[in-house]
Amino acid sequence: MTYAVIEICGKQLKVEPGRFYDIDRINQESETEVSIDKVLLVSHDNDIHVGQPYVESATVSGTIIDHRRGKKVLVYKMKPKKKTRKKRGHRQELTRLMIDSIRIGGNVIAEKTSESKSVETEVAIEA
């Protein structure tokens, strides 16, 4: 199994080709290619490349599928015996990112398979 640990939007994610991830909002259009250079670790078969802090010449490429909003989180503040209550809601703005490939030194070591491509098109047709 091939995976990479990347840094994006101030957070670290373990990503695999052919899967999608919800990350904080990126200000780019849908169906845009994104290349991520901040790769902290790459694992391919039994080879592990660890960066200090980033792996040199390693990139993870992906495609922005769409923009959405996360689940609603309710924040309820109350002070006992004071009759003060505040109820607020928050929905995080998210971007759904499909990981296409992982590269080291320009060579593709892992890529999205044709099965995951067909699943992506089925999801797009349903939506």
With pLDDT > 90 as the criterion, what percentage of the chain qualifies? 79
Q: Where are the domains of the chain?
A: 3-113
Half-sphere exposure of 64 (CA within 13 A, CB side): 19
Distance in angstroms (rounded) separating the CA atoms of residues 32 and 45: 30
Q: What is the CA radius of gyration of the chain?
A: 19
Structure-token pair, residue 36: 């991520």
Beta bridge partners of 115: none
Could you give the CA distance from residue 93 to residue 22 in angstroms, rounded to a whole number? Answer: 10
Q: Predicted confidence band at 106 (pLDDT cuts at 50, 70, 90)?
A: confident
Predicted TM-score (pTM) of the model is: 0.78
Instruction: Decide if pLDDT at 117 tops 90.
Output: no
